[in-house]
Structure 1
Amino acid sequence: MKLGLSSYSFRPLLANGSLTIEGLFDWLEAQGAEHLEIATFSFAGAGKEAGYDLSAEEETLRRIEAAAARTGVPVSGICLGANFLSSNGARRAEIKTVKRHVLLCKRLGAGFLRHDVVPWAHRLADTAEFEREFEGLVAVCREIAAFGAEHGVVTSVEDHGFFMNGAERLLRLVHAVDHPNFKLTVDVGNFLCVDDNPYVATERTLGRAAFVHVKDFYVRTREPGPGWLRTHGGQFIRGSVFGYGDLDVAALLRSLVASGYDGFLSLEYEGAEPTLFGCEVGLNNIRRMLAELGG
């Protein structure tokens, strides 16, 4: 496996300007990271995340290319949001945007694109709405997967947010799309958003994984205070340094190693501790645990 980080982990520092693109790649090189996965909005200015289109930011792209070439830290993949619900009148425009990011992957030498199908905050729909939307989402995912195959870019959907999340829905989507270039980005922690058991859900989905995210959460049954995310079932979660939280992350990594997965592995840090501290400690914890597991 090739261990690196998502640019999302550094969003607070990139947003306030205390970390530049060049400084990010320097940090990755110094820490021995083997890749950077790009979450597109990471490079948006503070408060400008909505509608941000990295494919249109030529100066930013040139800086990323130059920094990657200088440090030898490659871009492994790109993650971006999308909204393909039938109520979205701009669905064809959304598809074109995602396809532009397929081409951006090709430009940056990245072989993987993760796109959403609904906005992250769209809460878990009732069965009627999900069933009503499902076939349309399948068709869009198949179209994008076919386009990705033409350009050597694997496309995927992640257990992200509340609507298209949970092992059952994700596996159903993969089977329905039925395209060899369409797979999953498996985030071992995000299953908690819909109260799916992360250990079972990770085991179930790893066989379809093109890319894997690892993270850790604190989990509470009552809301401790501000800054906690309410899950679909009414639990409360908050990001932590990898290895500090309530997840048995060693067990999750054990499943990853046992599955034979040998692709890119991204740490997504979203805790309250200082950003670079959380990223460095988490990265080292993953390395230590993988070494203990022989992975």
Structure 2
Amino acid sequence: MQFGVSSYSFQPLLRRQEITLEGVFEQIAASGGTHMELATLTIGHDLEAMMDYELYEDAGTRGRLEAAAANTGIVLSGLCIPASFIGEETGTRRAQIDRAKRYVDLCADMGVGFLRTDVVPWALRPESYAQVEALFPVITEACIELADHAAARGVVTSIENHGFLMNSSERCRRLVHAVDSPNFRMTLDVGNFLCVDEDPLMATQSCLDIASFVHVKDFLRRKRYPGPGWLETLGGRHIVGTVFGFGDLDTHALVRAILRSGYDGYVSLEFEGNEPTLMGCDTGLANVIRIFSEVKAELAA
């Protein structure tokens, strides 16, 4: 098991230029982590620049990432990119698939083994079950093509339970089994199931056998709207991120499920709370490492 942090956790500091990419590697090393997962949306200083940014076009930043990894001993474990394989405009879907394949090539060239792509826009909420059923074969076809390309380059691609439409344990499992490739798996986020009002522990347990990467995070949950800054779930409840171990998720039970499953890969902390960023990342990662150690000892006793 290797513990680290997603660059997404440092996005507020990166956006305000209060920390550099090199500083993120250094911070993770100082906190006891061993790897960093890079979300390409964290590169750039405003939202428009982040949305348009392409790492495969930026040799300078790739060099900085490789040098920072070498200097700190922090492994660059995976890349995460936004993507949508359902574009209806002429050429849009094809361009998105080809772009994802270029990131597969980039992973292979940089020695990064894992690529997570979205398959629909994060904010897209399903209008009906029929809509999901109509989109499913379109998404599956694109993921099969991507997985075939990844197999040729030795990279594992994945869907994440992310957003609202292609979320839930059932939809993620269904897509992974429909693609039916060892090079297409699931980035399992233990907290994101709340976006579609699914129990995080039950959903995590049902998906661990298809997980290629694990994200850990924590949320506060409320039945009624508490005020600005809270995300409304698909079922009308409200959640907000917090420091791992500070929230309402049963973190010990989630860790116990992960360990009992035999998963032994990368675990990335994703901090997206309102607490100060460095405190959220440092304390959160310390809690991740501590809770895994405690539960491992419990299971061995």
Question: Normalization by structure 1: what TM-score?
Answer: 0.98
Question: Deviations for 1:59-97, whole angstroms, at most 9, x for unmatched residues?
Answer: 111111111111111100001111111524311111111
- 1:249-264 paired onto structure 2 within 5 Å: 249-264=251-266
May I ask how many residue pairs the two structures share in their alignment? Answer: 295
3-state secondary structure, aligned to 1:243: coil
Residue of structure 2 in register with 1:58 after alignment: 59
Gaps in structure 1 of 5+ consecutive residues: none
Distance 1:88 1:240, change over 3 A: farther
Residue of structure 1 in register with 2:45 after alignment: 45
Displacement of 1:209 after TM fit? 0.2
Percent sequence identity over matched residues? 52
Residue of structure 1 in register with 2:12 after alignment: 12
Displacement of 1:20 after TM fit? 0.6
Greater Cα offset, 270-279 or 60-69: 60-69
| Matching of residue 246 in structure 1 with residue 248 in structure 2 | yes
Residue of structure 2 in register with 1:291 after alignment: 293
Residue of structure 1 in register with 2:284 after alignment: 282
Displacement of 1:108 after TM fit? 2.2
Displacement of 1:52 after TM fit? 2.1
Question: Deviations for 1:253-287, whole angstroms, at most 9, x for unmatched residues?
Answer: 11001111000000000000010100010111111
* Contact 2:115-2:157 within 8 A present in 1 as well: yes
Aligned Cα root-mean-square deviation (Å):
1.1
Displacement of 1:120 after TM fit? 0.4
Residue of structure 2 in register with 1:183 after alignment: 185
Greater Cα offset, 8-17 or 122-131: 122-131
- 1:76-87 paired onto structure 2 within 5 Å: 76-87=77-88
Question: Deviations for 1:191-221, whole angstroms, at most 9, x for unmatched residues?
Answer: 0000011111000000000000000000000
Residue of structure 2 in register with 1:33 after alignment: 33
Gaps in structure 2 of 5+ consecutive residues: none
Letter matched to residue 132 of structure 1 = A
3-state secondary structure, aligned to 1:294: helix
| Matching of residue 158 in structure 1 with residue 156 in structure 2 | no
* Contact 1:86-1:136 within 8 A present in 2 as well: no
Displacement of 1:180 after TM fit? 2.0
3-state secondary structure, aligned to 1:222: coil
Displacement of 1:124 after TM fit? 2.7
3-state secondary structure, aligned to 1:291: helix
* Contact 2:36-2:74 within 8 A present in 1 as well: yes
Letter matched to residue 83 of structure 1 = S
Question: Normalization by structure 2: what TM-score?
Answer: 0.96
Displacement of 1:51 after TM fit? 2.5
Question: Deviations for 1:158-210, whole angstroms, at most 9, x for unmatched residues?
Answer: 00000100011111111111112111000000000000111110000000000
Residue of structure 1 in register with 2:233 after alignment: 231
* Contact 1:166-1:196 within 8 A present in 2 as well: yes
Q: Distance in 2 between matches of 1:49 and 1:245?
A: 29
Q: Distance in 1 between matches of 2:123 and 2:261?
A: 31
3-state secondary structure, aligned to 2:52: coil
Q: Distance in 2 between matches of 1:30 and 1:289?
A: 19
* Contact 1:82-1:117 within 8 A present in 2 as well: yes
Q: Distance in 2 between matches of 1:168 and 1:88?
A: 29
* Contact 1:5-1:35 within 8 A present in 2 as well: yes
Residue of structure 2 in register with 1:104 after alignment: 106
Q: Distance in 2 between matches of 1:98 and 1:14?
A: 24
* Contact 2:176-2:185 within 8 A present in 1 as well: yes
